Structures are given as structure tokens and as C-alpha cells.
Structure 1
Amino acid sequence: MAEASHPLKYEDWGGEMGARWLANLKGFEGTIAPVGEALLARAAFAPGERVIDLGFGGGATTIAIAEAVSPGGCVLGLDISPDLTSAATRRARQAGIDNAQFLCGDAATASVPDGPYDRLVSRFGSMFFAEPVGAFANLRSMLKHGGRIDLAVWGPPAENPWMREGMEVARNHVEMPAPVPRAPGPFAFEDLDYLREILAGSGFHDVDIGAAVGQLPVGGAGASAEQARDFAQNAMAFGQVLLDYPSDVQAAVARELAHLYGRHYRPGEGVMMDYCAWLVSARA
């Protein structure tokens, strides 16, 4: 097994991760679409509401919310990545959306214009704060008294084989640090007791948590096993780590990933693998 040259990082959304998301936008959005749909269905936005979309990625959720709150409502996308902010602004303009705007900033400390807002929503944008209680307290300050927050966060790795099994393939060939419980990253809020502590400590109340479970298409709907492999290697954090290793190591991982995803491929659907996300709502 080759030795790792640097730790696996998930937090650099203002730089490398934001640029990687943009470069693999179609694959990312297609992969997590089932969770986004479940989150927006649960949130049930209504015309006239003013909403913040935290960690908007490519802007798909922001545009969907903008349509849901029209007429009379608006949505502000807040993301730490300048690359994603520029791309989402162009995307909304091209779609003819005039009640959405996008702001580049660190949600842990940012002040938003024209606040407070009625609602705040985040699809996988809230798990990367270094100091989560302070960050969520800042999010609470963006909301009206009694305003609602809706979050989607990943459940435990054991219930997310779409991520875990690919990482296990990579670990068969290279050394990577084991995830640290409660550390910033995709699984920061897998522990619901910890999540409740964060929300209570930052001033939120009436916490309600449900689960979205099912299967999602790795690499997007209809992707082949090879396309899912390419998505994992190019877009996911463990794939980026492999770039520091010799070509024979990368090739061995690629073969095993293609085999893994081939076992889960269903014609007409894609590489379908199990996922679990927590859908969280609370009041400010």
C-alpha cells in the first residue's frame, strides 16, 4: 500500500472544492438531485417568502426556490466560492430569473443585505464550519424571529455506501486518514445528538428531523459504470488524493471502481446506490 502524502481535506470550498464542483457540475447535481428534491418538498416554499440558500453550488436549488416564492418573494444565494458565485449568477440570468441574487461570503461571519429573511435552506452546505455554534448563531441572525431553517446533511457513512464504498476501494491501495467524528466534512452531522446540540447552542428551537433514504445515481442519471468511475476520480475528494500516486496505483483503483459501479448499474437508470440524508428543520 502506498503512503499518503497529505491528509484528505473536505473544507476548502472557497478554493479547490468550489472549483472542482463547478468543473463537475452536471455529475454533482445529478448525483444529489434526489436529496435536493426531498429537501425542497419538505421545505414547501410559498409565494412571497424571502429565502437564503446557503452553499448553493451550481445554483439549481436557488433557481427552484426563486420560482417557488414568485410572485413577491426572492432568494439570496450565499456561498464561499467565488467561482460558483459567478457561475450561478450567469445561470440565473440565462434562465430569466430576476428574483434571485448570489453573494460570495463565509456564512460563519457574513452579513447579508436586506435582512432579516423569512427562511434559510441549505443542501449540504452547513457541515463544513470550523466553529459550528458560532456559525449557526450567525445564520440565526439572518432570520426573523420565528423564521425557519431547513437543512439536508448526510447521515452515517455506513448508510451512505455511494460514498463509503468508493473510498474503501481507494483505501485498499493508499493510506488515507480515518474520518474524525464531528469534524468538519460530509459526515459532520451524522450524529443527531451533536446536531441538536449545535442548533440549541446557537439559539434555534423546535428542531424536527426526518430522513431521506433511497438510491441515487452516482455521476448522474443514466451514467455508465465508467462514467461513474470518472466522476468519482475527478470530483470526489478521495479521487483527488490519488493524483499524488503513481499511474499504476491510479489504474488499479480505476479498475476496481469500474467493477464496483458495474455491480450497481441498471440500464436506463445509471449506477444506483443507497444513500441516507437527514432533513432538518428548526425555528430561530
Structure 2
Amino acid sequence: MTSAAATPEQLKGEDWAGEQGRKWLAHIDRFEGMIAPIGEALLARAAIAPGERVIDLGCGGGLTSLALAEAAGPDGAVLGLDISPDLIDLARARAQGHANLRFVCADAATVTLDDPPYDRLVSRFGSMFFADPHAAFANLHRMLKPGGRIDLAIWAAPRDNPWMMELMGVARAHVDIPSPDPRTPGPFAFADLDYVRDILAHAGFAAPAIEPLQGEQAIGGPGALPEDAADFALASMAIGRALAEAGPEVLASARDDLLALFTRHYRDGEGVMMRNKVWLLSAMA
């Protein structure tokens, strides 16, 4: 193991308005393919009705927004919110011809919308990155009508997500990675459901209904070969930056270990399939 330590900032890598947004855009087909089944489960649970007005929080490239717009129909409306100008540009391009769908590039924690409150808010992994989640969710609450509803997909704890734990295990064999504060903004910031309940209650939401979603996800997208998945992980995830900054020899050695890991999980015709766990959460405003 190298003595170089990765900083918490390297591990988070969550500058969604800048670097992380550009990374997501550069690998968007792989990212979207990897989490598509989770998005489908979230949308099925949300069950948007025709005519409803919906916010897609952290809309990314807009695929979820497009699905929401189809469900809401011509009498409904969907607003996609994301802090990344690069991803919003792609979302707008994809939405050409959809009159009931628009996008705003803004920080949902502080933005003030100039239109009436919405019926629904949906977010597939877009709600865990706020620096001050209590204030952010209070702002989200103001965007909804009384009795409106939020539906969120959030990652369960890393220990329940072997896809992340095993990737981190590879990285930690090569660089010293300290354990971050579990509530630090990032993918797993809402793993503690009591913390999430407290945030929602302070924002004015009712007690949430929460159910687990467990399964597998294809690292690098469906059908990706182990080589593809390894290159994807190193190019797009925060561990890749920490390993790259430790030097080319460390990076090459870590890639070999990732390749071996992903080869063990590879299934012909499906890709690199690794276990995951997500919480699907619904709450009334």
C-alpha cells in the first residue's frame, strides 16, 4: 500500500456543478444503464397520475424526467432541476418536442420557483448531496402543495452494497482511505434512516413510508465486459482520482485488482453483476 492518503474531498468528488457533472455526462450511458432498474422501481412506486405537476430533483440527463412527463401527460407538467449545467444541456436536448417538460439549472437547496407549488417531487439518487439537508428539505417542502408527496431512491448503508464495499476494498489495498463521516454529503449520506426521518420531520413532512429494494446492478452498464467496468470505475468514480494521484504504478496495480474482481462477478450476456440495496421512501408534505 502506498502511504499517500486520499482526502475526504477526493472520496466524495461531488462537485456536481463542475467536475462530477462532467464525469457523469462523459459516461452517462453506462451510469444510466447501471441504475435503470432502480429508476423503474421508483417510478412504479411513485405512480404519477395524468395531470399531476412533478419536480424531478437531481434530474441529470433527463431520462427520468422524460418518463415522468409521459406519465403526467399533456395536462400535467414536469420540471427537471439539476445543479450541473452540462447535464441540463443534455436534458434539454433530449426533451425537444415535449411541451410538458422543462429544465432549470439551479441549486434545489436554495432556488425559489416562480410557478405555483407542485403536486409531486421525485428523485433518483439526487437528494443526498445537500451541504445543509435540513434547510434544503425545508425548501423542497415549500415547492409542494399541502398534501403533496415526495418519492426518493436513496442508497442503503455501504455494508449492504457489496458493489461499493468491494470497490473500496480494492482501493484501500493501494491507498490509505480514511472512513468519512457517514452523514457527509455524498451517495451514502442517507444510509441512517433515523437521520432521514429527522430531516423530513424538521422540514414539515409526515413520517415516511420506506421499503427496501435489493438486487443486482451491472457495473458499467448492462453487458459491460470486466475491462470496460474497470475502466469505467477508474474514470468516473472518486476512487479513480485517489488512485491516479498516487501514481501510474499504483493505478495500474489497482486496475489489475479491479479486473480480477469484476471477472469473478461477470456473467455472459448480462455484464458485471454485483449486489446492491436501496431504500425507496415516500412522504407527504
Q: TM-score range by the shorter chain?
A: over 0.9
1:14 to 2:20 alignment: no
Residue 266 of structure 2 corresponds to 265
Q: What is the Cα deviation at residue 87 of structure 1?
A: 1.2
1:25 to 2:42 alignment: no
Residue 42 of structure 1 corresponds to 45
Structure 1 residue runs of 5 or longer lacking an equivalent are none
Range with bigger deviation, 116-125 or 96-105: 96-105
Q: Runs of at least 4 residues of structure 1 off by over 6 A?
A: none
Deviations along 1:174-232, one digit per CA (max 9) or x if unpaired, are 11221212111111111111110110011100410011110011100111111111110
Q: What is the Cα deviation at residue 5 of structure 1?
A: 5.7
Matches within 5 A, 1:1-284: 1-2=1-2, 3-4=4-5, 6-7=7-8, 8-93=11-96, 96-284=97-285
Count of residues paired in the alignment = 282
CA distance in 2, matches of 1:32, 1:115: 31
For the Cα contact (< 8 Å) 2:6–2:178, is it kept in 1?
no
Deviations along 1:130-174, one digit per CA (max 9) or x if unpaired, are 111110000000000000000000001011111221111011001
For the Cα contact (< 8 Å) 1:10–1:186, is it kept in 2?
no
Q: What is the Cα deviation at residue 98 of structure 1?
A: 2.2
Range with bigger deviation, 4-13 or 99-108: 4-13
1:196 is matched by which residue type in structure 2?
A: R
CA distance in 2, matches of 1:115, 1:165: 45
Q: Percent identity?
A: 60
CA distance in 1, matches of 2:153, 2:114: 24
With normalisation by structure 2, the TM-score equals 0.96
Q: What is the Cα deviation at residue 277 of structure 1?
A: 0.5
Q: What is the Cα deviation at residue 16 of structure 1?
A: 0.9
With normalisation by structure 1, the TM-score equals 0.97
